[in-house]
Structure 1
Amino acid sequence: MKKLIVCVATALALFSCQSEEQNNSGVSNTQNAKRSCASNDVLMRQIAEDPSLLQRMEDIERFTDEYQKNPSAFRLVNGKIQIPVVVNVLYRTTAENISLTQIQSQIDVLNQDYNATNSDYNQVPAIFSGVKANVGISFVLDQVIRKSTTKTSWGTRDAMKKANQGGLAPTSPTTKLNMWVCTIGGGILGYAQFPGGSSATDGVVIDSKYFGLSGTANYPYNLGRTATHEVGHWMNLRHIWGDATCGSDLVADTPQHNTANYGVPTYPHYSTCTGTPIEMTMNYMDYTDDRGMYMFTAGQKARMDAIFAAGGARNSFAQP
C-alpha cells in the first residue's frame, strides 16, 4: 500500500494539462489551436490551497486498488448508475445562451459514449477489441439554470461556481452532476474536478463553443467529446499519457503514450516508450479531435465503477 501512495503522490506532482505561462485568471495565454483541458492544473491549485486534498485522493486510490482486486465485495447499490445532470448556463450573448436542443444533444452524446452505442465504437482497432468497454453509466437532464452576465471570460479558478463572484452555485452536488457552460477563455475547452474535492466546486465546466452537437459547437470539437473527456476526469480517470513523458494513467490495460496526441493520428501510431506499443489514440482520455476519440477500456471502467461502489468517493450517486 505504501508503494501505491508514493505512486499516486508522484503522479499528482507530474499532472499538468498545459505548460504555457498562466495569467492571473488561471487561463493559459495560448489560444485554442489544439485540445486543451485544465483539469490537472485546477487540481494542482486546489492541492496547493488545501493540502489535505492530497490525502483524500490517496485514500480514493487505495480504495480503487482494493476494488479492482475484488469488485464483488463493493457491490453497486443500484447495479447500474444513472446520473442526474444540472446544466448551469452563464451567458453574455444570445449565442452563449445555448438552446435546450443543444443541451440535450450533449446528454445524448454522454449516454452513447458511456454505453458504447456511439456510431464510431465499431472503429476500435482489433488489437484493442479485447479491452474496449461499455461503462454502463447513463445520464439524464435534471435541470437547466440560466444566468445573464457581463463577463467576457471566466478563467479556471471556479468563479462560475460561486454566486458571490457572479456565477451559479452547484445544485445538490453530492447527488447531481453539475455542468457549467460558459466562456472559459484562453483556449481552454473544459475542466473537471476530480473526486475528493470540495462539494462547493464539484462538477464539470465546458466552454459553450465545445458543448453538444449544434448551435455554438465549434469544429473540430463539435461532437460532444469534450464533455465525455471531462466527465471521465470527474469519475477519476487521468489523461492517458499520465501527464508526463511515458507516464502512468493508473490503468493497466491502456498502452503507455509518449505524451498527448492531437488531431486524428494515422493508425497505427507507435509510442517510443518501453516496448514501443501502439498508442490508443482513440481513447476518450487522449487529446485528439472529437472525431478521433471513441472508446474507454475495461480498466477505466473499473476505476469509474469504484467511485460509485459502497464506500466509494461518489457512492451518494448510487443511493436509491
Structure 2
Amino acid sequence: MSFSIARLALLAALLPAAAGAQTLYFSAIPDEDDTALSERFSKVAEYLEDELGTDVEFVPVKSYPAAVTAFRNDQVQLAWFGGLSGVQARRLTDGAKAIAQGVEDEAFVTYFIANSETGIEPSEEFPADALEGLTFTFGAKTSTSGRLMPEYWIRQETGEAPDEFFSRVGYSGDHSQTLRLVASGAWQVGALNFSVYDKAVTDEAPEVEDARIIWQTPPYPDYNWTIRGDVDARFGEGFTDRVQEALLSMDDPDLLASFPRSGFIPATNDDYAPIEETGDALGLLR
C-alpha cells in the first residue's frame, strides 16, 4: 500500500511540470503601453497555437530588462526582442538563437524628432548646431532604436556624450511615451524607432503635428524573435524549426500590422554582430 501511495505522490508531483511543458510561453519588450501590447500579442498567441498544435501564452513584462530576465529564467521560451535586448538574452542563455526578424529589421532606423516650437527643420545631415544645449530624451535605457543607436550617432557626430552635448538627458521608457513627451514640450528633442512614429502618422495621432522628424540614423539590424536552445528537448524534435516556419508564414495583414511589419524573414545570431559590437563599445553589455 505504501509503495502505491508513494507512486501516486510522485505522479502528482510530476503532473504540473508535464502540463507546463505543453505550454509555450512568450514575451516581448514593452516598446508601447500595456494595452497596446496585450492587443498585439494575444492575437499572435492564438495564431501560434493553431500553427504549432501547442498551447501558447503571452506573458507581459514591465521593462526591457524584465523581458531578458524572463527569458534567461525560463519563464518564457520565445521572445520578441530588440537588437540589444536579444543580444543580452542570448549571451545569458546557452543555445539561444535568433530565428526570425521583420523584413524591415534588416535596415531599421531611428528618427530624431523635435518639438515644433524649436523651429528645427528636417536635415540630411545631423543637425548638431541646432541641437546643442537642448533637452533630449531617449526611450528605454536598453532599447536598440531608442537608446543604443541614437547614442552611438550622437557620439559619432558630436564627439561628446549625450549628457555633455545636451543640457538635460532623460529616458521616457518607451517609444510612444517619447513621442508624447516631445509633442507636449516636456522634452525638446527625442529619439524613437521609425515604425512607432510612422504608425502614429497612419493613425492620425495628434502628437505628430507637434513633434516633427528632423533627422534619421543610417540603417542597422534590430528586432528579432529569439528562442531558447532547449525547446526541442521539451516540445519535440524539430520544434524550433516549426516555430520559425510559423513565424515566416505569418501573412495575415492584421497580425503583421500589429508589429508593424510587412512579413518575417530568417535571422541568425550573426546578423546582430554590429549591435553586439556597439553595445560593448558603449558599455551596455557588461
Please indicate the TM-score interval, normalised by the length of the shorter structure.
Answer: under 0.3
Structure whose CA Rg is larger: 2
Structure 2 length as normaliser, TM-score? 0.26
**Relative contact order higher in (CA < 8 Å, ≥ 6 apart):** 2
